Structure 1
């Protein structure tokens, strides 16, 4: 049953760049198709950090106060009158992209491309749709996914970014025995490594500019080998940058002992030089997946990709990927997933959590990967 009265709850609300305020907000009973969820854990994402640091994420500018957060798990506290598959007390992961269910892409099962999509914590649409950095929220019941008993709330909050990589791996047709190279070992890159391992990749390696993160990736078993790109001055011309990308890719392949390149490359940085390198680092007939979101316009060695038949594929969010992501976590095939969570804060300390994430290291010099905000 749904509650019959309006209640108050606490939310961390972004009013502008680096301006997070803890406020009291009203919660109404869930509508017929909704369930009310007490949010237990929310993982902070790179897009959340962009909104926090700049008041915008790319072209999407905050026009009114916004609750951030979209990687979350919680407990159902009430259900609307037409909801039959959920009951109060049920543990769930929240899928936070609300699709229209009627357009061409939704009917084809590619609802991540829905033009009418409203996404919690995104300023793309207005009025904005609040995210999960709040104690309680109403949410469409059909995109609340029950969690198995052996999947923790923190793991449940990792399902959203994990679904991104499930979707990317599907589009890459990633299969057992293939070799995999991952650019970038932030949380998304590390999950790309984990997905590749769970599918049975014969080798998983990673490239980054941060040696500490690479050390973490290798020590914790996400990648078998790593390569740190050397610090260099910014190239003066596009031609110089393209030449350098080719040389850097060949140097990395030599270090890995993979002169012929990798079957699948997951580009998880969005950085132009890494995209350029990825085309050279992919094997003939290989595939490069564009997972990271970077600048709008990128110069790439397209002729190199064409003559070597390197497929370059975009991937955006996910569609129908939550069940597989949950199954992967419950199966134990992603044994290192919980190691991504390096720091934890209460909802009241959300601003401190964002500040720590922006620094990348804590006071003791430890790396910051995934920060969880919620009940401690």
Structure 2
């Protein structure tokens, strides 16, 4: 029989309400999960602030949240895929559900599936409701069991960590490479950390906020910090933008890698034969010095979410690899319960909180 649950529901920009819903029993291939930890993501924040994410508009009330872990409270009865999970198991939720039959899915690139239904995204309609609710029914095969050594907060970090692991796999860099990460938010910090684990010789991290890059180096996420100088006036023409980028690249290269980095997000700072990794959501239209990219045979590599990375992320967290920094240090702010979700989002929208503390990752705790 259906049961009553509570959910945080977005009705408009900054209009979050706690509402009652009915949740049916899990289908034969599903488990029912009590969601207990959810990290807030940049895409969630876009929906919260603008009721849209880029060109994707919300067309019906939407529950946000997709970086989640919880506890299995019910199991579908008639499907073997659910047999490996039992009530009481702690799981990290992989919330993107591909069609699993198209060429991309069969080729292992299910993150690019045109039929993808992703919780908390308004791209598909009806929208796939997110995880900021008491319980959800979710296909058992997309629930990844957590070892006893990992807390549910680590479980919620598996999702953004999988983005970094997928980026590393797409980069396919050799051990001893130099990596430059532009942006020291949560995903940038995770990409830096994963690069170190993968054997990067030097990881340089750059951001316009000095406190972020200092946090990265002080806590072992990167080796070298670089604060990006702001230009006043801001460059507007293509020529001015390229000149600013060239000057910035020379400053970056002077830090550790005279010839440039093996993997980076900017052409001029990339060494010949290197790679430009496009990770996360930046400006939708950017200026690219295509001739420089061509002459240096730079590869432009896109990264969208992740595929086949969850299990590897869980194994990395459980390994206690000494090179991996303590990822829980990313969680700078914690809130409790659905009633506190609006405050959690307002905090996530800030660079620093009311006390001047750096905001990196905000976590919502719904444990009883």
TM-score range, shorter chain: over 0.9
| Gap runs ≥5 in structure 1 | 268-277
Match of 1:313 among 301, 307, 324: 301
Q: 1:63 aligns to what? A: 59
1:35 lines up with 2:31 in the alignment: yes
Q: Is the 8 A contact 2:202 2:256 kept in 1?
A: no
1:103 lines up with 2:99 in the alignment: no
| Gap runs ≥5 in structure 2 | none
**1:166-245 equivalent positions in 2, closer than 5 A:** 166-232=165-231, 233-245=233-245
Cα distance per residue 1:30-85 (max 9 Å; x no partner): 01111100001000000000000000000111111100000000011111121211
**Displacement after TM superposition at 1:311 (Å):** 0.9
**1:36-185 equivalent positions in 2, closer than 5 A:** 36-81=32-77, 82=79, 83-185=82-184
Q: 1:248 aligns to what? A: 248
Q: 2:353 aligns to what? A: 362
CA distance in 2, matches of 1:143, 1:298: 35
Tell me the secondary structure at the aligned position of residue 349 of structure 2. helix
Cα distance per residue 1:252-273 (max 9 Å; x no partner): 212x1322111112x4xxxxxx
Q: TM-score, normalised by structure 1?
A: 0.94
**Displacement after TM superposition at 1:285 (Å):** 1.0
Q: TM-score, normalised by structure 2?
A: 0.96
Match of 2:268 among 257, 280, 283: 280
Tell me the secondary structure at the aligned position of residue 318 of structure 2. helix
The number of residue pairs the alignment matches comes to 360
Tell me the secondary structure at the aligned position of residue 172 of structure 2. coil
CA distance in 2, matches of 1:295, 1:218: 26
1:340 lines up with 2:364 in the alignment: no
Q: Give the ranges of 4+ consecutive aligned residues of structure 1 lying more than 4 Å apart after TM superposition.
A: none
CA distance in 2, matches of 1:197, 1:125: 36
Cα distance per residue 1:170-217 (max 9 Å; x no partner): 010023211111000000000001101111111111011001111111
CA distance in 2, matches of 1:289, 1:218: 21
**Displacement after TM superposition at 1:236 (Å):** 2.9
Cα distance per residue 1:279-327 (max 9 Å; x no partner): 1111111111100222333220011011111111111111111010111
CA distance in 2, matches of 1:298, 1:366: 31
Q: 2:310 aligns to what? A: 322
CA distance in 2, matches of 1:180, 1:59: 31
CA distance in 2, matches of 1:292, 1:118: 19
CA distance in 2, matches of 1:196, 1:257: 16
